[in-house]
Amino acid sequence: MAKFISKTDLLAWLEGLMKERTLAAPIKEEGVTRFAPVKKVADIVMDPGATDFSPKDWFFPPSETLFTVSKADGKTVITPRTMEKEAILFGLHPCDGLGVALMDLPFLAEPADASYAEKREKTTLVGLACRQSRPECFCTSLGSNPFDATYLDVLLIEAGGGYIVQSKTEKGQKLLASAKLTESNVETPAPPAVNTVPVEGLVAIAPHVFNDAFWTRLADRCIHCNMCAFVCPACYCFDIRDYVGKGGVVERVRSWESCQAAGFTKIAGGYTPRPTKAARLRQRFYHKFLYMPKQLGSIGCTGCGRCVRVCPVNIDIREIITTMQKIGAKVAVGAP
């Protein structure tokens, strides 16, 4: 027997939750599906296929005010931005759950990013299992799978005209208290098959591929926009700048930034340790495949395939992994 919720009851449950909490879910605007606060549940894209942008939008938004600085009675007062209501992030796929877990690594490492930590504490993750995989998906190669509930508070698996409901966390259980769940003997469907990519051993061979001409050739066609980084659930680089608003109130604002930008590492005076396009392109993959594993304990990729989909010149992370493995294997047997 499994816990079950009908499609109508699911929407009713979400609608009820919206009264007290912010509900963020996949919403489509002008053909682009992103996680955004929901105005009415009918707007939610119930089968998001993989949103164009990742759920990091919620925890680490494109732009956010970290704190404000104002003057009161001659004193300088710094006020951090805080989150008013608890929230539900709905409709993320299992790989996106892994994405959130990866985002936790830098942001929750001590000293934790307070604004991120607060959002994580106050947000419950309600995921949707994948009905289908897409050709660019490779989540199973990175330890997740289409029905993986590991990094979610609630997982819904579509079956028998509704959803099988799974929850192992306290947060999830608490949220489900208001859901109209029934006991059902509907069978759990088989998860969809997912393409695989040879990730195993990548961290070990990565240092040997660093100076290969492959990166220069790949950078030939890279246009060095920031899209791969912006849609990535695990890319977390940022910039911080000040804004002065009405009444002289200063806002310190954090915005997405990416290692692909030429100015990313340029210091005042003009020096940059990464002056070539190839060095910048390589940085993105080395950060994911070598530096993150060494510093934070995990490869910085979920296999969601968003970067593959969004790239206008087909820089394909799967092809890069495969090529790195091939080059690495040659180095390992001592070939030139």
Partner 1 sequence: MTMDLGQIIKEKAHELLASKKVECVLGYERATDGKTARPLFAYTPEETERFIFDETCVHGLAKFLLNWKDKSTAIVAKPCDVRSVNLLLQEKQLNRDKVFIMGVVCPGVAECSWDRVGPPQQRCNACPQHNPPVYDFLVGEPVPEKEPQNGVDPEVARIKAMTAAERRAFWNQQFDRCVRCYACRQACPGCYCTECFVDQVDPTWVGIRHSPADNHMWNTVRGFHLAGRCTQCGECQRVCPVNIPLMLVNDELTQEVGDKFAFQPGMDPSTLPPFATFKKDEHLGIG
Partner 2 sequence: MPSARRSPFIPHTARLKESIDLTPDVKLFRMELEDEAVRKEFQYKPGQFAFVSAFGVGESPFGLASVAYQNDAVEVAVRRVGTVTAALHELEPGAIVGVRGPFGNYFPLEEYKGKNICIIGGGIGMAPLRPVIRTILDNRSNYGKLTVVIGSRSPADLVFASEYEGWGSQPDTRVELTVDRGDANWKGRVALIPAVVKEIHLSPENSVAIICGPPIMIRFVLVELKALGFAPHQIVTTLEAKMKCGLGKCARCNVGDKYVCQDGPVFSMDQIAGFLEQF
Taking CB within 5 to 8 Å according to partner kind, which of partner 1, partner 2, none is near residue 82? partner 2
Taking CB within 5 to 8 Å according to partner kind, which of partner 2, partner 1, none is near residue 256? partner 1
Nearer to partner 1, 32 or 109 (CB): 32
Query: What string of DSSP letters covers 149-203?
Result: -TT-SEEEEEETTEEEEE--SHHHHHHHTTS--EEE-PPPPPPPP------TTHH
Residue 99 tokens read as: 């994405």
Site string for partner 2, 166-205 (x = CB under 8 A): ----------------------------------------
CB of 62 to partner 2, least distance (A): 15
Can you tell me the distance from the alpha carbon of 44 to that of 56, in angstroms, rounded to the nearest whole number?
A: 18
The residues near 26 (Cβ < 8 Å, ≥ 6 apart) are 33, 34, 35, 44, 45, 48, 51, 91
Q: In the complex, which residues of this chain contact partner 1 (CB under 8 A)?
A: 29-32, 52-53, 62-63, 134-136, 217, 220-221, 223-227, 230-231, 239, 241, 243, 253, 255-258, 261-263, 277, 308-314, 316, 318-319
| Residue 1 near residue 183, CB atoms below 8 Å | yes
- Residue of 11, 36, 112, 225 interacting with partner 2 (CB under 8 A): 112
Site string for partner 2, 266-285 (x = CB under 8 A): xxxx-xxxx----x---x--
Rule CB under 8 A: say whether 327 interacts with partner 2: no
The piece of 9-17, 137-145, 244-252, 310-318 that touches partner 2 (CB under 8 A) is 244-252
- Residue of 72, 76, 333, 334 interacting with partner 2 (CB under 8 A): 76
Q: With CA atoms as reference, report the closest residue to 149 among 93, 192, 191, 105.
A: 93
CB of 283 to partner 1, least distance (A): 17
CB of 42 to partner 2, least distance (A): 31
- Residue of 294, 297, 334, 336 interacting with partner 2 (CB under 8 A): 294
Residue 153 tokens read as: 């508070």
Taking CB within 5 to 8 Å according to partner kind, which of partner 2, partner 1, none is near residue 295? partner 2
Taking CB within 5 to 8 Å according to partner kind, which of partner 2, partner 1, none is near residue 19? none
CB of 247 to partner 2, least distance (A): 12
Token pair 């994405």 is found at 99
CB of 266 to partner 2, least distance (A): 6
Q: With CA atoms as reference, report the closest residue to 253 among 104, 115, 47, 102.
A: 115
Cα atoms in the 13 Å half-sphere on the side-chain side of 74: 0
Nearer to partner 2, 287 or 318 (CB): 287
Residue 138's Cβ-count burial label (10 Å; 0-12, 13-18, 19+) is buried
Residue 261 tokens read as: 């930008």
Q: With CA atoms as reference, report the closest residue to 165 among 20, 10, 8.
A: 10
Taking CB within 5 to 8 Å according to partner kind, which of partner 2, partner 1, none is near residue 237? partner 2
**How many of the other CB atoms lie within 10 Å of CB of 256?**
19
Q: Any idea what DSSP says for residue 112?
A: P
Nearer to partner 2, 56 or 93 (CB): 56
